[in-house]
Amino acid sequence: MQNLLRVIFLVLFISCNAIKVNYDYDKETEFSNYNTYNYYSEIETGLGELDEKRLFKALDIALQSKGLVFSEEPDFLINIEGRSFQMPKNTSVGVGVGGTGRNVGGGVSVGIPLGSSKLERQIVFDFVDAKKDQLFWQAVSTSALKENLPPLVREQKLQEMVGKVLSKYPPKKRK
């Protein structure tokens, strides 16, 4: 029973933190030509070493489930860049004082910020043709960053992010 409560708590906790992903790709690309992948040797994920391992593991599993194969001589290379940034406070309360009389008016107002700034993480996934050295697909993931999560939750969040990032790869052909 206690394990069930933990799982429910984790699901609720994870579902509250939305992951936003924006996609872009070269519409001339024939995605069926890309069957093997590898990673750039110098990648700056912006993650700690353990989270980086979790990210690569999640990516490998997701890519291989799409039929792609890790290779030393790949069709495309994956570059990952990450950064953390502070989101500005977006809620405030306005307090104003004003007066008027005998055709004279005046007023003072002050905005008081509420809450605290949010720490966000942005991770950019670039898929680059290995022979042409040209970017052909990109996904930019943005999500809330919480540093004090236990390892299991960190792994689940990274798996969720990778799943969402790769959900639109390869892009569907539009007719």
Q: Convert the pLDDT of each residue in 73-109 to its tens digit.
A: 999 999 999 988 776 655 666 656 666 666 665 566 6
- Given this model, what pLDDT does residue 174 score? 64
How many domains does the chain contain in total?
A: 1
For the chain, percent helix, then strand, then coil, each to nearest 5?
Answer: 30, 40, 35
Least confidently predicted of 30-34, 42-46, 55-59, 121-125? 42-46
Is 1 part of any domain? no
126 is in which domain, residue-wise?
17-87+116-166
Span 114-154, pLDDT tens digits: 555 578 889 999 999 999 999 999 999 998 877 788 999 99
Token digits of residue 53 = 């391992």
Is 30 part of any domain? yes
Is 5 part of any domain? no
**HSE-up (13 A, CA, CB side) for residue 69:** 7
Helix (H) or strand (E) holding 159: helix 151-166
The one-character DSSP state at 17 is S
Whichever domain contains 62, its CATH number is: 3.30.160.670
Residues 135, 117: Cα–Cα separation, whole Å: 34
Residue 112 has pLDDT above 90, yes or no: no
Is 104 part of any domain? no
Top pLDDT among 15 and 123 is at: 123
Is 74 part of any domain? yes
Is 108 part of any domain? no
Residues 59, 3: Cα–Cα separation, whole Å: 28
